[in-house]
Amino acid sequence: MTEPATAPHAARARPIWLTRNVKVLCGVSFLQDAASELLYPILPIFLTVVLGAPPAAVGAIEGLAEGAASITKVAAGRLADRFARRPLIGAGYGLAAVGKLLIALATAWPLVLVARVTDRLGKGLRGAPRDALLVEGVPNGQRGKVFGLHRAADTAGAVVGPLVGLVLYEALDHRLRPLFWIAVIPAVASVALVGAVRDPRSRRTTHGTPTKAARTPWRSLPRPYWRVLGVLLAFNLVNFPDALLLLRAHDLGLSTAGVVGAYAVYNLAYAALSYPAGALSDRLPRSLVFSAGLVFFSIGYLGLGLIHAPWAVFVVLPLYGGFAACTDGVGKAWISTLVPDRQQGTAQGLYQGATGAAVFLAGVWAGLAWGADGHLPLLISGGIALALAIVLPTAVRSRTAAP
* 219 inside domain: yes
Cα dist. 206→124, 154, 214, 216, 284 in Å?
22, 30, 12, 17, 37
* 109 inside domain: yes
Range of the domain at 249: 17-200+215-395
Q: What is the mean pLDDT of residues 292-297?
A: 96
pLDDT at 212: 47
pLDDT at 42: 78
**Residue 122, by phi and psi: left (phi above 0), alpha (psi -120 to 50) or beta?**
alpha
Letter for the amino acid at 38? L
* 223 inside domain: yes
pLDDT at 205: 45
Tell me the pLDDT tens digit for each residue of 101-123. 998 888 888 888 899 889 889 98
**Residue 137, by phi and psi: left (phi above 0), alpha (psi -120 to 50) or beta?**
left
> Where does the pLDDT of residue 14 fall: very low under 50, low under 70, confident under 90, or very high at 90 and above?
low
CA distance 213 to 5: 47
Q: What is the mean pLDDT of residues 208-223?
A: 59
Can you give the pTM of this predicted structure? Answer: 0.76
How many beta carbons lie within 10 A of that of residue 353, not counting itself?
23
How many beta carbons lie within 10 A of that of residue 213, not counting itself?
14
pLDDT at 301: 94
CA distance 195 to 119: 20
pLDDT at 6: 46
* Phi/psi of residue 391, nearest 5 degrees: -90, -15
Evaluated on CA atoms 29, 337, 80, 201, the torsion sign reads: positive
Q: What is the mean pLDDT of residues 265-284?
A: 90
Please give the mean pLDDT across all residues of the chain: 83
pLDDT at 30: 93
Q: What is the mean pLDDT of residues 309-335?
A: 91
pLDDT at 303: 93
* 54 inside domain: yes
Residue 272 · residue 67 · CB < 8 Å: no
Q: Which of 34-48, 142-156, 196-210 is predicted least confidently?
A: 196-210
pLDDT at 224: 86
**What total of structural domains would you count in the chain?**
1
CA distance 299 to 386: 9
Tell me the pLDDT tens digit for each residue of 326-379. 998 899 889 888 888 778 888 888 888 888 788 878 888 888 888 777 789 999
Letter for the amino acid at 159? V
Buried b vs exposed e over 184-198: b needs ≥16 C-beta within 10 Å?
Answer: bebbbbbbebbeebe
pLDDT at 399: 46
Say if residue 401's pLDDT is above 60. Answer: no
CA distance 127 to 76: 8
Q: What is the mean pLDDT of residues 262-275?
A: 88
* 295 inside domain: yes
* 268 inside domain: yes
* 321 inside domain: yes
* 5 inside domain: no
pLDDT at 296: 96
Residue 44 sits in a domain whose CATH number is 1.20.1250.20
Say if residue 2's pLDDT is above 50. Answer: no
Tell me the pLDDT tens digit for each residue of 124-139. 888 888 888 888 877 7
